[in-house]
């Protein structure tokens, strides 16, 4: 009993300690919105960056940061924060629309490599929700399975037992399916490690040395996939399939 009381008190203390931090984060976020309305974009960015330092993240926060950087004509950071927002809200139409608008203003007009129908389907299903959302859905499915199975165990009428047994099996199936999708989403994110070019002009080379031949150039806001690393160098692939080595300081990893 004492252990339970101690745990409860500890939980309450932790919640009380976190409350001022969340309140401060919300305060900074609201201040940033007011500064943005007043067209003080740099000050708004500082307020929203302060929210991130408090370890509070949201699609709305990154979306607003993307908008503010775009108003300052900082296309690299703008694309970066829109991409961050889409990781948390993959299907948000406003984020997708604004990102597309900024991409049209970039120097590099890159046509992504065509994807097979299977690849499109697999990516679409995996990214329909975030990894954490798939995991939560899996847990909820398991809770549903347990509750429905208990009802099945307690039911007396054969008709009710059949119904609740079927529903409990459906809950188990959904839980396992959502768990698999959470795993696939996590694997997809690990295998597709992207970054955004922050340099106004970036030279990609054939090897991880400044003396290596130049292959091609990219510009601010371009999206690249990180293939491998070598100290301070990164082998990246552009969306149209070209590969080259760059310094890590030239990009911001998502």
CATH architecture of 2-103: Alpha Horseshoe (1.25)
According to the model, what pLDDT value does residue 134 have? 86
pTM, to two decimals: 0.71
Q: pLDDT per position in the chain (254 positions), as tens?
A: 444 444 344 434 343 444 555 678 889 999 999 999 999 999 999 999 999 999 888 999 999 999 999 999 999 999 999 999 998 888 899 999 999 999 898 988 787 777 777 666 777 777 677 778 889 999 999 999 999 999 988 888 888 889 999 999 999 999 999 998 888 877 777 677 899 999 999 999 999 999 999 999 999 999 999 999 988 999 999 989 999 999 999 999 98
According to the model, what pLDDT value does residue 22 have? 64
Of 3.30.200.20, 3.80.10.10, 2.30.30.40, 1.10.10.10, the CATH number of 194-253 is 2.30.30.40
According to the model, what pLDDT value does residue 82 have? 97
According to the model, what pLDDT value does residue 198 have? 94
Q: Where are the domains of the chain?
A: 2-103, 118-191, 194-253
According to the model, what pLDDT value does residue 132 have? 82
> What is the secondary structure of the chain as a DSSP string?
-HHHHHHHHHHHHHHHHHHHHHHHHHHHHHHHHHHHHTT-HHHHHHHHHHHHHTT---HHHHHHHHHHHHHTT-HHHHHHHHHHHHHH-TT-HHHHHHHHHHHTTSS----PPP--HHHHHHHHHHTSS-HHHHHHHHHHHHHHHHHHHHHHHH--SHHHHHHHHHHHHHHHHHHHHHHHHHHHHHHHHHH--EEEE-SSEEEEESSSSTTSPEEEEEETT-EEEEEEEETTEEEEEETTS-EEEEEGGGEEE-
């Amino acid at each position: 009993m004492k252990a339970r009381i101690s745990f409860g008190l500890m939980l309450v203390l932790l919640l009380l300690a976190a409350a001022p931090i969340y309140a401060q984060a919300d305060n900074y976020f609201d201040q940033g919105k007011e500064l943005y309305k007043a067209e003080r974009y740099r000050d708004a960015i500082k307020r929203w960056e302060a929210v991130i330092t408090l370890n509070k993240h949201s699609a709305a926060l990154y979306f607003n940061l993307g908008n503010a950087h775009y108003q300052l004509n900082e296309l690299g950071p703008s694309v970066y924060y829109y991409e961050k927002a889409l990781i948390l809200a993959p299907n948000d139409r406003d984020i997708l629309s604004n990102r597309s608008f900024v991409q049209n203003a970039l120097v590099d007009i890159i046509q992504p490599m065509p994807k097979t129908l299977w690849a499109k389907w697999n990516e679409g299903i995996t990214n329909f929700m975030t990894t954490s959302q798939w995991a939560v859905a899996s847990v909820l499915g398991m809770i549903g399975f347990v509750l429905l199975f208990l009802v099945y165990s307690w039911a007396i009428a054969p008709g009710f037992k059949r119904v609740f047994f079927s529903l409990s099996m459906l809950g188990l199936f959904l839980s396992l399916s959502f768990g698999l999708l959470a795993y696939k989403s996590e694997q997809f994110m690990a295998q597709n490690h992207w970054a955004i070019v922050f340099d106004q002009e970036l030279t990609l080379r054939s090897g991880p040395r400044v003396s290596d031949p130049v292959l091609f150039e990219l510009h601010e806001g371009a999206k690249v996939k990180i293939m491998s690393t070598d100290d301070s160098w990164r082998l990246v692939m552009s969306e149209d399939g070209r590969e080259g080595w760059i310094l890590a300081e030239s990009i911001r990893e998502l």
